[in-house]
Structure 1
Amino acid sequence: MTRCFWLLGVYLLSFSSSFSQSDSDSVHTRNLVTIGKVWGFLKYYHPQVATGKIDWDAQLIQLIDESAAIPSRQALSARLLSWISQLEPVKACSSCSIPDSTAFTKNLDLSWLADSSLFSQPLRQQLLYVAANRNQRTNHYVRWNPFRNRLEFSEADYSTMALPNSSYRLLGLFRYWNSINYFHPTKYALPRNWAQVLTEFVPRFQQATDTLRYQRVLQQLISTIQDGHAELTIPLAYRLPSPEPTLYPPFDYRLLNDTLLVVRSFNDSLCQLDDIRRGDGILRVGGQSVAECIDQRAQDISASNRSALIQRLLPSLLAGSQPLVEIELIRDGQRLRKTMHRYVFERFGYRPPLPARSKTVPPTVGYIDLGTLSVGDIKRVMDQYRDRQGIIFDVRNYPSVSFQRLCAYLNPAPRGFARYTKPDLSFPGVFTQPAIQHVGRNNAAYYRGKVAILCNSHTQSAAESTCMALRTAPRAQIIGSPSAGANGDVCYVHFPGGYQTRFSGRGVYTVDGQLIQGPGVPIDMKAIPTRDDLLNGTDRALQAAIDWISQ
């Protein structure tokens, strides 16, 4: 009884109706949203459903097919109550304890179970009872894999459905929405209200009546969680060829204060044809400002923060299928309108210049590119640099070695660097907070120089953990710009039609509790390229690291 009162108290204190719908929202949409949420709740909470012995997908399809004929909320409550009554009675649970103070409960939100404007009193009572006496055994649909250190879902992918019908498309929506609702480690920090996302996407999934629309609405749904790990994998058989080739401008560019700065030519003669010059700042493309172009494309891109979004979008901002596009640029303080040609990239015959970092880094400073460092080289390189004034670790890539090996050289003793939350499958929506993760060892001969860690939007996942681990060195600084903000072992979700996506399955925090997913790793020294840096090819972060070490 104490558990029931505690749960009800939490629900009512945190309650805000999930259905702040306008008058134009249909009863059918409301019915479908409610069905999808109750179906997912029972899937993870009801002991009999959790066994997997009931075809729970088929039960959902039946309810979806009936939903249009359910005329009112009262009728829907009666139908759902009848549905739940067909399941085995839930026994009182003596082990269903209330989360203690060490549990991470920011993601837990079952307030909608107590919504009197949505459910009848008998249905509310039944749902709250299931919540208080939730499944405590293994769940057929979700498990923790200790070997891969990640959450794994067990679902049918219905891969033979070339284009799933409306009911199965909605099944995929409800499956994904509930997976995020109960198992996304930072749902509380998502940029959008997760309940509103479901209401918005129900009609959009219904209207996705061809393969291209289905694929696009899947991508747009996935993008709502703004997770750099999230991506849509399309089955090879359903990958639609582009009707026209993608064409590109004959120059390279970078984003600088909502302007696309031309930094180098891919082909001088083609740039001269349109009078495009190095240093020009493009303000508008095809009648849209650069900011509008970014916002328009953002809904189709999965990125955890603005820096990561720009990094992924940038190559496509001036690309398109048409060979001509109108642009507006600024040159020497004057605005100019021009018609710009675009071409297949192969026409440029362009070869990127080789990096010249070896000429930039002074002999008193060591430089290590973690994207190319091999395990066998770690001892040799650290011995080589042990007397240098400082070492620069470039983590603007995906590391090819484990940070534990490197940190053994950098710390005099073990140091904590991160906290990783893990889903509590006995209480879906709650996460456990294991002990602080440590790196390093007792080492009296540790490296005593400065340690500079270079970071930017290419620094993602294991690279972000590497930055956090290297930062434990006594004289370390992370230098650069925000990382991708996508860390933690990934887990996979399947949609009907054989489509697949993934999301970050563990919450990652600094030792003092700063969230990494989204914001990225904390930057000690910002180093943002200036206009001159971009035009001259100056690596601002690298130069800032050299200057800091040389102080």
Structure 2
Amino acid sequence: MEKYKKYARTSLALAIMSIITPSVSANHLLQNEQGYEEIVPELRAFSELAQQVRYFYPSNAVANSDWDSFLRDSFKVLRDTPSEQRVDKGIELIQAIAPYVQRNVIHLPSVENDESVNVWIQSGASTNHIYFRDLTTGTFQELTQFPYFTQQTYFASTYQGQDIYIPLYLPIDSALLGTAYQAGNPYNLVTNMTGTETCMAAVSSMWAEIQHFWPYFAHVDVNWSQTHLPLFNACIGARNEFEYKVNEQFSLLGDNHVWINYPEEIVPFKHYKLPFTLSYIDEKALVVNRTDFLSLQVELGDELISIDGQTIDYWLDYYKGRTLKAGLTEKEQSLNLLTRYTDSRLVNMVFRKSSGEEYGVTSATVHYKVTGPYKGQGVVPHYSELVRYHENGVAQLMAYNVTVNNLPDVKRLLEKASAIVIDFRHYPTSFQGWKQLFAWLLSTEAKSGTLDFRYQMMPDQTKKFDYTFRQTITPEGAGVNIPLVALSSRSSISQNEHALMFLQDANIPILGVPTAGINGDIVYSHKFGGYQQGGISYIYTGMSARQTNGEALIGVGVLPDMYAPRTAKSIENQEDNQLIQGISYLKKQL
């Protein structure tokens, strides 16, 4: 029994992180062999059954099969099968790998208490960073003593109106039956995402990972089952709509970690940019950074009101629900997409100054390698120092720059501080760095919000086990014993939010705006070699997180005690108004 306890201990070494990659866009048409339009609902049903078997049927053949290639090839076989034989053919294809997928429950092998059986133990769709997926063996009686193994011996599913039974435990001898499916491309299909079958297999497998392993369905109002068919249909439509049709479905999750990298064959990379960046501030698209490629008439803080004859409101509406992001993060991403292009071209724009004066500018897009340095603070100013002093001995501590190695320098630099602004508006450099910093700063023990490391047992997520825990930072001494305030921003995401919750639990006030609203370690996944090899790559959140008070974090974020957004005036004047307000607050505490 000791060997199974290692799975509970695995979750004690979690690290929270987020990696975001650039977006891309699309043109031209997907390859589309005729004959798929009418049978897409049948292919969806087949794929849903196959994905249940893929993740929950406990056999060596299932574990060793190339399921994405199996789906791709099976779609071709099913398309070429007469309609009246298609259901039987689908079951036959699956039974070649998993012979005990049965239409009658009496045909399932019996499972005795003292019998050695196979079962999946899994916290993710694959062994991936902190997540694992293992086919394990033990007696049924032994295994079911642990909370991460179901008591049920099978799962009742349906396929095209027929009852189907999938064993969740298999006696060892039974688990050896079936033949693993290996990729050999017997039908000479296109193996990148421009191929209809490859595309459908890829997006369906992406859908299935979310369906079976995404942990936030209890927090987000989304009917994920209804998104599967539109994903299939995206593969038989116009290529210039593909990216947005897929993004529309994954945007419904409201998971600000979600990112999808498409292959250039379908979505050409956007290597060209307008020579400025925008941010959505005071309900305006404001220039927050610019390069020397831009007309000197355009100044930081100017509002972009139209581009190529269309207003900013038009573009925000155009991208709405298509950016993979939620909340204000969605508008930020929309403005980011608006400034990126696949080629060099002239773009006509109209700007407005704070005085109300409007003027037109024509600018060329510039390749990202030659844009040159940006000038401006951006929506969230970034400071390269560790510590910067302000009036009355108030120190600004750039917590996002702290590492284990430079922590001694931080402590030395803060020796004369009368109060500290803990600037945590950017993603941190070092997880261990800020944790050790907090252990030195804080005078009381502080806990994170709750985190759930989930074990999935059933295809419908009705049976799961959450290993719920809170991380603790214990003070290493008496703390600094001076006034503190922390800064948050809309860019504070994931590990930022995790850190801010420790400060929140320690009753250190937070000044700024609600954070991005997503925490929990992420999953990286790739289909058909990933986007660099003609496949597709994507990221989603694999572990759920809550606020320190137990309420939902996703879609809400860490809420500040003192609301202090960036303003149009502060951008125009190049003033860090959040820092100014933080310093003002601390001066009153002295």
| TM bucket normalised to smaller | 0.7 to 0.9
Match 1:375 to one of 390, 404, 408: 404
Cα offset, 1:349, TM superposition: 6.7
C-alpha separation in 1, matches of 2:171 and 2:485:
47
1:46-125 map, 5 Å: 46-48=57-59, 51-53=62-64, 56-57=67-68, 59-68=70-79, 77-82=87-92, 87-88=99-100, 90-92=108-110, 113=157, 119-120=160-161, 123-124=162-163
2:285 partner amino acid = L
Residue number in structure 2 paired with 1:494? 526
Residue 54 (structure 2) pairs with residue 43 (structure 1): yes
Cα offset, 1:40, TM superposition: 0.7
Query: Residues 444, 406 of structure 1: CA spacing in aligned structure 2 closer, same or farther, 3 A cutoff?
Result: closer
C-alpha separation in 1, matches of 2:513 and 2:88:
55
Query: Residues 362, 311 of structure 1: CA spacing in aligned structure 2 closer, same or farther, 3 A cutoff?
Result: farther
Confirm or deny: 8 A CA contact 2:513 2:565 kept in the other structure.
Answer: yes
Match 2:210 to one of 175, 180, 192: 180
1:419 partner amino acid = T
C-alpha separation in 2, matches of 1:397 and 1:310:
19
C-alpha separation in 1, matches of 2:257 and 2:320:
15
What TM-score comes out, normalization by structure 2 length? Answer: 0.68
Can you list the C-alpha shifts for 1:243-277, whole angstroms capped at 9, x where unaligned? xx73525x6654334422356775599344xxx56
Cα offset, 1:418, TM superposition: 2.3
Match 1:451 to one of 484, 501, 513: 484
Confirm or deny: 8 A CA contact 1:49 1:56 kept in the other structure.
Answer: no
Can you list the C-alpha shifts for 1:51-105, whole angstroms capped at 9, x where unaligned? 4255544543454124446777x865555555566613543556599x99x99x9
C-alpha separation in 2, matches of 1:265 and 1:33:
47
1:294 partner amino acid = L
Query: Residues 236, 280 of structure 1: CA spacing in aligned structure 2 closer, same or farther, 3 A cutoff?
Result: closer
Query: Residues 203, 414 of structure 1: CA spacing in aligned structure 2 closer, same or farther, 3 A cutoff?
Result: same
C-alpha separation in 1, matches of 2:171 and 2:566:
53
Q: Whose helix fraction is larger, Structure 1's or Structure 2's? A: 1
What TM-score comes out, normalization by structure 1 length? Answer: 0.72
Query: Residues 382, 348 of structure 1: CA spacing in aligned structure 2 closer, same or farther, 3 A cutoff?
Result: closer
Q: CA RMSD for the aligned pairs?
A: 4.5
Cα offset, 1:533, TM superposition: 1.5
Query: What SS is found at the alignment partner of 1:510?
Result: coil
Cα offset, 1:387, TM superposition: 6.9
Cα offset, 1:396, TM superposition: 1.7
Residue 327 (structure 2) pairs with residue 306 (structure 1): yes
Cα offset, 1:498, TM superposition: 3.2
1:232-243 map, 5 Å: 232-233=260-261, 240=268
1:246 partner amino acid = Y
C-alpha separation in 2, matches of 1:156 and 1:506:
31
Residue 416 (structure 2) pairs with residue 400 (structure 1): no
1:519 partner amino acid = V
Query: Residues 431, 268 of structure 1: CA spacing in aligned structure 2 closer, same or farther, 3 A cutoff?
Result: same
In structure 1, list runs of 5 or more residues that go unmatched. 1-24, 141-153
Residue number in structure 2 paired with 1:261? 286
Cα offset, 1:183, TM superposition: 0.8
Residue 449 (structure 2) pairs with residue 423 (structure 1): no
C-alpha separation in 2, matches of 1:504 and 1:155:
29
C-alpha separation in 2, matches of 1:368 and 1:156:
54
Query: What SS is found at the alignment partner of 2:484?
Result: strand
Aligned residue pairs, count: 485
Confirm or deny: 8 A CA contact 1:368 1:393 kept in the other structure.
Answer: yes
Query: Residues 515, 365 of structure 1: CA spacing in aligned structure 2 closer, same or farther, 3 A cutoff?
Result: same
Cα offset, 1:324, TM superposition: 3.6
C-alpha separation in 1, matches of 2:294 and 2:199:
50
Confirm or deny: 8 A CA contact 2:351 2:359 kept in the other structure.
Answer: yes
Cα offset, 1:182, TM superposition: 0.7
C-alpha separation in 2, matches of 1:235 and 1:269:
31
Match 1:409 to one of 436, 440, 444: 440
Taking only the aligned residue pairs, the percentage that are identical comes to: 18
